[in-house]
Amino acid sequence: MNGIFNETNAWTVTEGNEAWLYSDAAAYYQALVNACEKAEKTILIAGWDFHSDTVLTYKKRRGLGMIPKKLLLRRFFRRLVRQKPELRIYILTWDYAPFYMLERERLQSWKRGWLKHPRIHFHLDDAHPISASQHQKFVITDADVAFIGGLDLTIRRWDQSSHSHDAPLRRDPDGEPYGAFHDYQLGVTGSVVFDFIRLFHGRWLNATGQMLNKLPTEQNSTSNPLPTDTVASFKNAKVGFSRTMPAFKDQDECKEIAQLFQDLIRVAERFIVIENQYLSAHSIVKAITDRLVEETGPEVIIILPEKAGGWLEMKTMGLLQDLALKRLVSFDRYDRLRIYYPFDRGRAAKRLGMTVHSKLMIIDDRYLTIGSANLNNRSMGYDTECQLTIDSNEDPACCDAIVYAMAFVLAHHSEIKADELELQIRDETSIIKPLAELCDTQRDRHLAKFHIHHVNDKLQLEDMNWLDMEKPSELEMAVDQWGFASEIASRRLGVSPRVLLLGLTVFFAFVLGFVWHYLLNDAQGSEEALRNLLIEPLADPVRARIIMPFIFGLGAIFFIPINLLIIITASIFTTGWAFIEILTGTILNVCVGYTLGRFVGRFIFERFFGKRTQKILDRIGKGQFLTILFIRIFPIAPSALINLAAGSGKIPFFRFLGATILGMTPGTIMLVFFQKSIMDVFRAPGLSSVFTLMILAIITFVIFRWSRRRFSQYRQRN
């Protein structure tokens, strides 16, 4: 490798490629359709999101007032495989977290309708640490063309470059309009396409355990699939391919993109132009501040969305971004920093915003990098990402193309043409001076000064790591041992995990039968027997209110399931008192388990789970609040085990307690609400009560299998 690329910031470096930059989804989707129509063997798709009702193109119909004809993605792919007998389509998309459940296509994992075609293969990819995501976005047609950028093949992305406030075609499948959406995508042909194929094949193998056969090995001569709507073309381009991949299974950690961005910022001489959805990554902030304090450093132009997203994103990523930008401004000693957002008076009048979703950076006339990586911590080390960087390699034509692309990016949100701005940039030694015209507030469309919200002066960017993690927390890896322990047990017993699970199920079925027959088979009836067994000792309300929390505390020592204690509490007390007792009991349960883990947790883990688990506990650090919250919402391990792990790992107590109470609240409400139906199954089994219990059992089983599957896939390191 030579130039800026080396083994720390690039996976591969290839020369002789040709690339084309497209602005916004309308242009990219049309280029994609054109490329797919030429594909004969394979179409490979990797994405963060995927929706079969994505509108790829609109075709005008004859006649006044006729609604344009939509080309839906599912219909387009179905037509392609029908017309091309050798074509196979492989779709790999992130097996999203429950947080995004309402935003994704319903029952996406079910092979229904068009997905039933034998040559269309669809798979949800969960081969990554929990709380991470598969964020790479690329498409490959045969071995001829690849597309990379921030755009997924999903709904609420299509928009034209005008981003008009009056856009009747900008609607989702339900007919609901959505705001302007801005992004860039790069098309590329040449030897770099084979790197995309290699990346996709590796991900498919990790996600499915299956090899992909009959992948194309020869490349046909290919031209720009959409020459009439291209921002810039780069011929004979030197391209570096960089990735972010977290440590997982046999996969080593890869942080090439983080290093690439730092290296690009370090070598900038005149300009750094950034357009991105977020800016909060510690490494990027540090790299920029280091250049801002230089007396003769480069000018830094940053374009961001006006708002980080909805209310929740504003309170999380928005807060982080404000802290990051505040730090950048404080280091701008020589007034070379400008931070903007796109303003449109027509959109503002209708209270419509614009989602700036780009992931693009331009350095002087030398480098242009684009891909899936946001400038946040997650994209630097936690989520899977991919990025292409074009190195002009001092080729005059390529340098000119990069300068024009820079002018287009800056002029795109104003009423100035890119050609005019390009001439001004070439004539001036400073890029900030020509920007004054683009920022004229009298214009209906202009780059407006970004407003940094007031944040607590004592709050530092590093204090908020738990909102934007760069790697899996050690608590996640420690709790993962719950799945690992069952694997150890199955190996030592010489049986498969399925046989072990079946054996445990049969065992607990016998235990339940024994309890029912010998303890609840009372002459006075099972209801009276149950009352004598569980309720009679707590018949006195005052005494029961005192005793119940201490039972929760004992549960932490004897590994009594906390959900069982919640059910018993809900059956004894009225709803109001039940919540008070459960809250008090949960606090005591956490205190006892945490304290036990703090003093003897390591001995317990080493004694009962083996020395290998001890090594995991040695790596437990400060648990992230959101991680603990997620673990509490989804019961991936016994509560007592989580308490022990937290205490043993010396996780801050009040953070752990707060996340526990908040995370267990939804499940507690559900258990209390269904308590009567659950108890009715034992007292007087009936169709309605049994049906309710079955629903709860199915929900619990699904959550357990999902969480165990996710948590048992961390790479185990010696």
Between 308 and 72, the higher pLDDT residue: 72
Angle of the 562-572 helix axis to the 675-683 helix axis, nearest 10:
90
Whether 94 contacts 135, CB under 8 Å:
yes
Whether 248 contacts 131, CB under 8 Å:
no
- DSSP category for residue 461: G
Checking if the pLDDT of 390 tops 70, the result is yes
Dist CA 559 CA 561 (whole Å) = 6
Whether 402 contacts 367, CB under 8 Å:
yes
Dist CA 711 CA 709 (whole Å) = 6
Angle of the 575-609 helix axis to the 541-558 helix axis, nearest 10:
20
Q: Which of 175, 181, 177, 195 is nearest to 27 (CA)?
A: 181
For the stretch 626-671, pLDDT in tens is 667 766 776 556 777 778 778 877 788 888 898 889 888 887 887 7
Dist CA 562 CA 587 (whole Å) = 12
Torsion of CA 110, 115, 120, 124, to 10 degrees: -30
pLDDT, mean of residues 19-33: 97
Q: Which of 3, 1, 10 is nearest to 392 (CA)?
A: 3
Q: Which of 99, 463, 427, 431 is nearest to 270 (CA)?
A: 431
For the stretch 318-369, pLDDT in tens is 888 889 999 999 999 999 999 999 999 998 888 888 999 999 999 999 999 9
Q: Rg of the chain over CA atoms, in angstroms?
A: 29
pTM score, whole prediction:
0.73
Question: Reduced to 3 DSSP states, what percent helix, strand and coil does the chain have, rounded to the nearest 5?
Answer: 50, 20, 35
% of the chain beyond a pLDDT of 90:
44
Checking if the pLDDT of 103 tops 60, the result is no
Checking if the pLDDT of 586 tops 60, the result is yes
For the stretch 495-542, pLDDT in tens is 665 565 556 655 655 555 565 555 555 555 545 555 555 556 556 667
For the stretch 250-298, pLDDT in tens is 788 899 999 999 999 999 999 999 999 999 999 999 999 999 999 999 9
Residue 110 has a pLDDT of 44
CA distances from 222 to 18, 145, 362 (A): 9, 7, 26
Residue 78 has a pLDDT of 93
Q: Name the most confidently modeled range: 90-94, 102-106, 570-574.
A: 90-94
Residue 619 has a pLDDT of 38
Handedness of CA 462, 466, 471, 476 (dihedral sign): positive
Dist CA 464 CA 94 (whole Å) = 26
- Taking CB atoms within 8 Å and a gap of at least 24, the contacts of 546-552 are 548/572, 548/573, 548/581, 548/584, 548/585, 549/581, 549/584, 549/585, 549/587, 549/588, 550/588, 551/585, 552/584, 552/585, 552/586, 552/588, 552/589
Residue 111 has a pLDDT of 43
Between 193 and 479, the higher pLDDT residue: 193
**Whole-number mean pLDDT of the chain?**
81
* Residue 64 confidence class, pLDDT cut points 50, 70, 90: low
